């Protein structure tokens, strides 16, 4: 196989503190791989600005004027990490043999990119980057992550253990991924459904260089809940099972109370009554809430709204030398490349 055209897709949201280091590091990596003839000289790095409120886009824009290896894609608003990633993947697949996604903080070991490409040349369409261990995580995060993967496995969701969004996907795999036209994206669950030849590469995760994590506890819980409800109806069946169990139990207690009534051993109990009301009421609210979550997802899917809207697309631009010198791009020059949904 000849040297493939590879695009590194890097979703960014308020990453100005770490972005200069990330750009330099990935730029050096691509140049090194090109010199070794492992990848094509047409390979690039695509930074996707997910509606950042800091200087993230300005840094991407200026870097794209200085080198042909760096390109940018600016979303009109914050669409979320998964949608920003999808925007970059679908934009890159049109001119790439394979695409590698990686987070902007570079906690994932970039040295395994070489192994990714070697596995791709061996015939694998999907190569997962998998953490060897979670020693850099707090005890709480490590434990909850293990519970999450075990729970998803019990629910019948095929996930790659300790894998996030650090992966290589071939153009063929990305074409199939684009057919999954759902709004509630959970890529860690969707990608294994494609079914093409896949393998895993193991690495040690590093500490974050600068800035703050974009997945605090609240977002982690939301992400996990979205993954569960997007891929399994087991929770709603579990609630139904609880309801059936409660109904059967209440019939048994009703029979028991009738026996006590006829034996003349009944005794008024306010505590047991109010406890039962609160218990049944709580179960009802939980059930209604869970059903509402599924109905809400159906509602979101039925509206068919775009997953993201591209504001500026610098990916497929051939920027003239005069523009590079002035470090400005005229608006008329940008009108052509600005695209909406892929």
Residues making up the chain, counted from first to last: 342
316: left (phi over 0), alpha (psi -120 to 50) or beta: alpha
Q: Is the distance from CB of 261 to CB of 254 less than 8 angstroms?
A: no
Query: Of the ranges 131-140, 211-220, 271-280, which one carries the lowest mean pLDDT score?
Result: 211-220
pLDDT digits (tens, 9 = 90+) for 167-197: 999 999 999 999 888 777 778 888 988 989 9
Residue 322 reports pLDDT greater than 60: no
Residue 186 pLDDT? 78
Share of the chain above pLDDT 70, in %: 64
Residue 339 pLDDT? 38
Q: Position of tokens 């490409």?
A: 117
Residue 247 pLDDT? 64
Tally Cβ neighbours within 10 Å of residue 301: 13
Write out the two tokens for 110. Answer: 């970039």
pLDDT digits (tens, 9 = 90+) for 198-223: 999 999 887 755 555 555 556 666 65
Distance CA 30, CA 54 (A): 27
Q: Over 47-76, what HEC string results?
A: EEECCCCCCHHHHHHHHHHHCCCEEEEEEC
CB half-sphere exposure, 330, CA atoms < 13 A: 5
Share of the chain above pLDDT 90, in %: 38
Residue 128 pLDDT? 94
Average pLDDT score over residue span 114-142: 85
207: left (phi over 0), alpha (psi -120 to 50) or beta: beta
Helices (H) and strands (E) in the chain, counts: 12, 8
Distance CA 233, CA 237 (A): 6
Residue 140 pLDDT? 67
Residue 337 pLDDT? 39
DSSP sequence for 97-113: SEEEE--TT--S-GGGH
Residue 288 pLDDT? 75
Average pLDDT score over residue span 51-66: 92
Distance CA 296, CA 145 (A): 26
Q: Which span out of 85-89, 160-164, 306-310 was modeled with the highest average pLDDT? A: 85-89
Query: Of the ranges 95-104, 121-130, 167-176, 222-231, which one carries the lowest mean pLDDT score?
Result: 222-231
pLDDT band at 336 (very low <50, low <70, confident <90, very high): very low
Residue 335 pLDDT? 37
Residue 74 pLDDT? 94
Give how far Cα 79 sits from Cα of 14, 202, 289, Å.
13, 30, 25
Tally Cβ neighbours within 10 Å of residue 26: 21
């Amino acid at each position: 196989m000849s040297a493939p055209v590879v695009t590194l897709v890097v979703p960014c949201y308020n990453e100005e503190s770490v972005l200069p280091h990330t750009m330099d590091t990935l730029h050096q990596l691509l140049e090194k791989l090109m010199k070794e003839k492992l990848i094509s000289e047409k390979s690039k790095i695509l930074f996707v600005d997910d509606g950042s409120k800091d200087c993230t886009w300005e840094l991407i824009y200026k870097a794209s004027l200085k080198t042909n290896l760096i390109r940018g894609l600016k979303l009109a608003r914050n669409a979320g990490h998964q949608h920003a990633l999808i925007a970059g993947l679908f934009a890159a697949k049109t001119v790439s043999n394979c695409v590698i996604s990686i987070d902007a903080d570079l906690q994932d070991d970039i040295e395994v990119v070489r192994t990714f490409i070697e596995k791709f040349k061996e015939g694998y369409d999907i190569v997962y980057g998998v953490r060897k261990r979670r020693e850099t995580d707090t005890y709480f995060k490590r434990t909850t992550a293990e519970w999450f993967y075990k729970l998803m496995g019990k629910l019948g969701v095929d996930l790659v253990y300790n894998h996030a969004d650090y992966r290589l996907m071939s153009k063929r795999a990305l074409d199939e991924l684009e057919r999954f036209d759902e709004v509630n994206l959970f890529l860690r669950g969707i990608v294994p459904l494609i079914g093409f030849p896949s393998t895993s590469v193991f690495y040690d995760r590093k500490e974050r260089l600068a800035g703050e994590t974009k997945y605090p506890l609240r977002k982690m819980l939301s992400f996990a809940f979205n993954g569960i409800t997007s891929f399994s109806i087991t929770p709603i069946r579990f609630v139904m099972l609880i309801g059936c169990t409660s109904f059967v139990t209440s019939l048994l207690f009703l029979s028991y109370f009738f026996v006590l009534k006829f034996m003349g051993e009944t005794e008024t109990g306010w505590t047991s009554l109010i406890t039962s009301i609160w218990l049944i009421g709580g179960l009802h609210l939980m059930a209604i809430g869970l059903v509402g979550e599924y109905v809400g997802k159906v509602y979101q899917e039925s509206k068919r709204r775009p997953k993201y809207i591209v504001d500026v697309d610098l990916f497929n631009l051939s920027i003239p030398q005069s523009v590079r010198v002035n470090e400005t791009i005229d608006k008329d020059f940008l009108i052509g490349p600005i695209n909406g949904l892929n």
